[in-house]
Structure 1
């Protein structure tokens, strides 16, 4: 188990170089450090396997963007396939000093267009995948964007190809200026555009850098399957460059592909979204033991279900195998950290999300904004160095930088100073302390489910369930209702759904608001008026 006492330091490290040129700096110091991908690059013909080759690819992309007229004052919205190339495009724009806006290609097309509309006639940058997503909307896009640039070798007439190359002028932004714009997940509404400076982005990952520098070595390999447009991935890429820790990008989440990569490269750390870890559970039964080399299973988006944590830790051959969980959001960065080893896994509850570290502060307040004592439930707020600069495009007025940031969650601080996360405010139902905890309990009782979501009805006083059954297995409505009664939910409506048909964010979170819109009225007719529970 790692020692996280370093996180008590109030002074966080500073980046070794401006983030816009950090890849070049890292290549100069640790050029042979592995920087791998399971999927070939499409934006460049050159191989990208090391820090040096990654930096060279970034320089090439910056030259091509410069040749197309991209300059320091430009805002550029990126819509590309989910690949580490997104990070290269971001850093290429950062070298020039332009402002990259990373948009998930998993968004609905209408949401992509709405996001572009918030940016005041930006440049749009696409690859072949982005072309396919936006091609049918090119006329609408022509009214929202100043131009559309494409990496595609077969650029259609309504776009500008990036085949030419001209030496660019590196002019990275100051640490306090906007460095990148990412977006919120949109689980409960539409995605919001969140601007981060180089300082806030580094503040987001600086606590992890302290651990990487003191407890990782060059023999480690971090494998990650993440949304490459997410602020967490931006920060994680920069952390890898800063600490010279080898990195493997897993772009294909298919279990067969993941197994092949794990057996080939034998990573010591594995990070992905909780819903993807659930889908990889089947690999724990594989006689080839693809998780054998993994010491650290990491999730920084949502807490993982206890069943998944126990299953993954049991599939590792490393005696110190553990699960590292961080709680935070795009706007705040991570604000607490928890580590769970094998000895703790039996009693693990994801409702406890650990402790804040360094200069991060957490409090819980009542409806009037007054801090409540430890043990009392309220609304979680934080002050953190990873907090964004603000929203773009009129999304919510920004509160002052020195004010407490509302996380939008319900929780409480324990007597030991740890934080318990109970529910999203917008998903909380009177009569139960935590719907999230009930989901965990149901998944423990129903191992045939790969996902289970409890959704508040449109009226706000009832709940319905959406359950996804693992391929080749079965769950009847009667079995589900028996389990629901066991965990104190009573009889609730359930809709069985294919996981592939769930409305998901770019980080594979279930969009509960969309499920409520699609199913709410039909399900509400049979939903109870109140959920039974054990509120305290």
Structure 2
């Protein structure tokens, strides 16, 4: 559907109900929903939303696990001009309260298991007039079927435009309170249309594909991956929550052909007993992103999955894929594996200094992207929108540089940059090298205040089961891989690193824990400082 006037989920739903009526749209657990059923269910839900007073521009929230019903409600909102606000079910009541309050949601769909989150916040939210329980006992979706039971399944007559908002995705909140990025219908159409127009298939969705939704549809990556697959008319396989063993089983038994996953998810799948080239024989393409991938992990993926791999770089604000490393560049040992890739067709990319001047190849600055899929803006945050979105360009929160061939190398989040004696140090660069150590499962590098140098580089590491390394061993491993001034001055061991509900490591929380530990140190038998927030805090390594 390359007619931009038809770039709406509403038009696509109607077209698939007509042209692909019996084709499975969603598989979830043992339930299969075809495109005709999905269209009728979302029509009933749309009419029920209208009866509840939900109209154009109203915000509707969802607090529940993944299922076909989540996507049904997104479509229902689209069909009445409302905007769906997903609330990640891993959030605390306080975090959920922020999203519900900030969005002004008038209706909330929720799974019964999250009543302890809903009950304390609902009375304090004057805009939240309606609550609809998704489930009925153990029956997934039973409450929804009862809610729309008397509604007609005819198409609502709402006029919908590609520029109309359809979902409001809250940023991961790695540097502060999450902001609601308002995403229009067009965001789910521009990228595949541009790829087709350019005649390239770096990332593609085919009608015959079976697409595993590994990342939750409650975030931009997962929801964009689902809706672009939906627009292609393929079959999306939805898990209630990601479980590596179940993902491997679904790939093997259903013949999954494509998926998009975070590197940590790929590692967990490869660690499963059933993981083998035979189990993944149906796969044709795996996309990954959300965090850096180590060379060792990528080599394992290429050896076991034996299909094409593509890296994606984007953000909540881009709402789609502005940069990717194509499959042809995924060659073991290639230096390009350290890059995020090239700008995709239909997008533009530049690197700017602090004065807004474009920088030449090799110089580090702020990554800026112009993409047709970009968000409309942040909900009720005009100043934040103006800082991020300028003259059609998205000012990303990342530092990076372009090489002579136009490949983008992402250094780090701007807010995470460490400055030691005037030298900029980018944590992700150090973390990528630490990930190559056989004992290190994951790491987070942060800067802590230092009286002499301004900041000092500290590394928090979580080890693999039954593997350990001393600070000296880690220091010697890094020596020669990165400049000496970048090597951490201290190493801290944690059983696991803190992550947000989207799975991203929270350096901010790591930094806060280490700063807090500084104020209450004691001394262990080796003379090193220890802290209650870490399993062990070990002294300087050089």
Are the aligned partners of 1:151 and 1:163 in contact in 2 as well (CA < 8 Å)?
A: no
TM-score, structure 1 as length reference: 0.83
Unaligned 5+ residue runs, structure 1? 1-10, 41-46
Q: What residue is the counterpart of 1:203 in the other structure?
A: 190
In structure 2, do the counterparts of structure 1 residues 295 and 409 end up closer, same or farther at CA, with 3 Å as the change threshold? same
1:330 CA displacement: 1.0
1:125 to 88, 109, 117: 109
SS class of match (1:415): coil
Q: What residue is the counterpart of 2:310 in the other structure?
A: 324
Distance 2:478 2:507 in 1: 19
In structure 2, do the counterparts of structure 1 residues 261 and 216 end up closer, same or farther at CA, with 3 Å as the change threshold? same
1:112-511 alignment to 2 at 5 Å? 112-120=96-104, 122-140=106-124, 142-143=125-126, 145-153=128-136, 162=147, 164-167=149-152, 169-203=156-190, 206-207=193-194, 217-283=206-272, 286=275, 289-317=278-306, 321-333=307-319, 334-340=321-327, 344-348=331-335, 350-394=337-381, 396-399=383-386, 402-430=391-419, 431=423, 433-446=425-438, 448-457=439-448, 461-470=455-464, 472-478=465-471, 479-485=473-479, 487=481, 488=484, 489-499=486-496, 502-511=497-506
Q: Deviations over 1:135-170 (max 9, x none)?
A: 343433x44523333224379xxx998365323734
Q: What residue is the counterpart of 2:15 in the other structure?
A: 25
In structure 2, do the counterparts of structure 1 residues 359 and 486 end up closer, same or farther at CA, with 3 Å as the change threshold? same
SS class of match (1:397): helix
SS class of match (2:290): coil
Are the aligned partners of 1:104 and 1:229 in contact in 2 as well (CA < 8 Å)?
A: yes
Q: Deviations over 1:504-532 (max 9, x none)?
A: 23331112222222333326987999999
Distance 2:245 2:178 in 1: 31
SS class of match (2:172): coil
Distance 2:188 2:45 in 1: 22
Are the aligned partners of 2:25 and 2:233 in contact in 1 as well (CA < 8 Å)?
A: no
Distance 2:189 2:62 in 1: 21
Distance 1:427 1:257 in 2: 35
1:444 CA displacement: 1.0
Are the aligned partners of 1:223 and 1:269 in contact in 2 as well (CA < 8 Å)?
A: yes
Q: What residue is the counterpart of 2:507 in the other structure?
A: 512
Q: Deviations over 1:412-460 (max 9, x none)?
A: 12111221111111111134553212211111122x4332221233677
Distance 1:356 1:340 in 2: 14
In structure 2, do the counterparts of structure 1 residues 520 and 291 end up closer, same or farther at CA, with 3 Å as the change threshold? farther
Are the aligned partners of 1:252 and 1:258 in contact in 2 as well (CA < 8 Å)?
A: no
In structure 2, do the counterparts of structure 1 residues 461 and 149 end up closer, same or farther at CA, with 3 Å as the change threshold? same
Are the aligned partners of 1:365 and 1:371 in contact in 2 as well (CA < 8 Å)?
A: yes
In structure 2, do the counterparts of structure 1 residues 519 and 408 end up closer, same or farther at CA, with 3 Å as the change threshold? same
Greater Cα offset, 402-411 or 347-356: 347-356
1:307 CA displacement: 1.8
In structure 2, do the counterparts of structure 1 residues 342 and 119 end up closer, same or farther at CA, with 3 Å as the change threshold? closer
TM-score, structure 2 as length reference: 0.82
Are the aligned partners of 2:44 and 2:148 in contact in 1 as well (CA < 8 Å)?
A: no
Q: Deviations over 1:395-428 (max 9, x none)?
A: 7432366343210111112111221111111111
SS class of match (2:174): coil
In structure 2, do the counterparts of structure 1 residues 38 and 163 end up closer, same or farther at CA, with 3 Å as the change threshold? closer
1:272 CA displacement: 1.2
Distance 1:28 1:523 in 2: 64
Are the aligned partners of 2:427 and 2:444 in contact in 1 as well (CA < 8 Å)?
A: no
1:23 CA displacement: 2.0
Q: Deviations over 1:237-282 (max 9, x none)?
A: 3322322233222344222212211210222222112221222231
SS class of match (1:59): helix
1:312 CA displacement: 0.8
Are the aligned partners of 1:458 and 1:516 in contact in 2 as well (CA < 8 Å)?
A: no
1:327 CA displacement: 0.9
1:17 CA displacement: 5.5
Distance 1:241 1:276 in 2: 23
Distance 1:529 1:495 in 2: 9
Q: What residue is the counterpart of 1:14 in the other structure?
A: 4
In structure 2, do the counterparts of structure 1 residues 216 and 378 end up closer, same or farther at CA, with 3 Å as the change threshold? closer
Q: Deviations over 1:1-54 (max 9, x none)?
A: xxxxxxxxxx976374532342232121122333343435xxxxxx43332333
Unaligned 5+ residue runs, structure 2? 522-528, 530-536
CA RMSD of aligned residues (A): 3.4
Are the aligned partners of 1:186 and 1:192 in contact in 2 as well (CA < 8 Å)?
A: yes
SS class of match (1:503): coil
In structure 2, do the counterparts of structure 1 residues 214 and 434 end up closer, same or farther at CA, with 3 Å as the change threshold? closer
Are the aligned partners of 1:193 and 1:395 in contact in 2 as well (CA < 8 Å)?
A: no
In structure 2, do the counterparts of structure 1 residues 287 and 54 end up closer, same or farther at CA, with 3 Å as the change threshold? same
Distance 2:538 2:338 in 1: 25
